[in-house]
């Protein structure tokens, strides 16, 4: 299949603009960042969206929706001149707002009014912060713990299995699974795999030369074939083909 040249070698920067404002300190316990994406496409563009273990509140064209953690990649079709404003919650940070297990909204898009009651009429960082601040829940130590564990996974590439993570954190595998279902929205095995594969895309974006067999071993895979299978399942194409973007 012919690839859209607008997605290769950084060409997307000619058509899209991204901004990532930081939250105010009082919201940083719950919110990772805000994000603003605008685009201008004469012809529709199929944007690959590969998930992280984060819940998003998004505003576009007068509508507000909550996107639970996605278990797989999605394609968003961008066309015309438009944009979207989003709130990215920390892992665990949406559970106090939701008041239910975050896994209950996995792979779902729900009307934000089901969670918040109403939505702000003005969409920008300050009014959205006021909106969230007016609904700010009590701090939840378990939410903080979930965020800290995900941070540990992201920072420690040698953690490639859930049992290793449980040992590092001083808990059981079952305890991690319960915590992640309640607060993160998807299991620890998936989160570990996602951050190990992030190592690949980060290196590609930084222009590194990749020895695929050595990298697979470094990331805890039994062999290159298992690594390539996981990568294709997450990104929709083999790692060598994905590397053509860079």
Indicate the pLDDT class of residue 241, thresholds 50, 70 and 90. Answer: confident
Average pLDDT value for residue range 182-206: 93
Number of H helices, E strands in the chain: 10, 6
Indicate the pLDDT class of residue 11, thresholds 50, 70 and 90. Answer: confident
Alpha-carbon distances of 104 from 44, 108, 149, 212, rounded to whole Å: 33, 9, 20, 37
Residue that terminates a domain, selected from 111, 134, 157: 134
Structural domain tally of the chain?
2
Facing residues of 81 across strands? 40
Dihedrals phi, psi of 156, to nearest 5 degrees: -120, 90
Residue that terminates a domain, selected from 134, 159, 194: 134
Residues 45 and 127 in one domain: yes
Residues 122 and 155 in one domain: no
Average pLDDT value for residue range 179-204: 94
Residues 129 and 179 in one domain: no
pLDDT exceeds cutoff 90 at 7: no
Q: Which of residues 149 and 199 earns the better pLDDT score?
A: 149
Average pLDDT value for residue range 69-80: 94
Residues 81 and 175 in one domain: no
Residues 129 and 147 in one domain: no
**pLDDT of 101:** 98
Residue that terminates a domain, selected from 99, 134, 169: 134
Residues 174 and 130 in one domain: no
Write the CB contacts of 100 (distance below 8 Å, at least 6 apart in sequence): none
* CATH number of the domain to which 210 belongs: 1.10.10.60
Residues 164 and 90 in one domain: no
Residues 77 and 176 in one domain: no
Residues 145 and 201 in one domain: yes
Length of the chain: 246
Handedness of CA 122, 39, 113, 188 (dihedral sign): negative
Mean model confidence pLDDT for the chain: 93
pLDDT exceeds cutoff 70 at 104: yes
Q: pLDDT for 158-191, tens place per residue?
A: 899 999 999 999 999 999 999 999 999 999 999 9
Residues 127 and 13 in one domain: yes
**pLDDT of 121:** 85
**Tokens 């700010």 belong to residue:** 136
What is d(CA 93, CA 89) in angstroms, rounded to the nearest whole number? Answer: 6
Residues 147 and 122 in one domain: no
Contact 200, 210 (CB under 8 A): yes
Average pLDDT value for residue range 14-42: 96
Residue 77 sits in which domain range?
5-134
């Amino acid at each position: 299949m012919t690839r859209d040249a607008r997605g290769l070698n950084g060409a997307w920067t000619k058509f899209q603009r991204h901004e990532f404002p930081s939250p105010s300190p009082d919201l940083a316990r719950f919110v990772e960042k805000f994000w603003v994406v605008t685009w201008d496409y004469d012809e529709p563009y199929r944007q690959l969206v590969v998930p992280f273990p984060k819940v998003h509140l998004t505003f576009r064209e007068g509508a507000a929706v909550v996107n639970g953690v996605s278990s797989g990649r999605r394609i968003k079709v961008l066309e015309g001149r438009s944009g979207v404003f989003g709130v990215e919650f920390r892992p665990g940070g949406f559970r106090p707002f939701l008041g239910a297990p975050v896994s209950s909204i996995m792979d779902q898009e729900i009307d934000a009014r089901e969670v918040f009651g109403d939505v702000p009429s003005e969409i920008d960082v300050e009014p959205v912060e006021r909106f969230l601040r007016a609904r700010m829940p009590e701090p939840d130590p378990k939410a903080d713990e979930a965020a800290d564990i995900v941070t540990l996974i992201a920072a420690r590439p040698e953690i490639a299995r859930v049992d290793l993570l449980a040992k590092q954190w001083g808990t059981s595998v079952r305890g991690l699974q319960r915590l992640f279902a309640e607060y993160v929205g998807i299991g620890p095995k998936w989160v570990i795999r996602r951050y190990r594969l992030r190592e690949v895309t980060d290196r590609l974006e930084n222009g590194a030369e990749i020895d695929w067999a050595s990298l697979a071993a470094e990331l805890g895979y039994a062999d290159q074939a298992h690594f390539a299978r996981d990568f294709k399942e997450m990104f929709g194409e083999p790692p060598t083909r994905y590397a053509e973007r860079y």
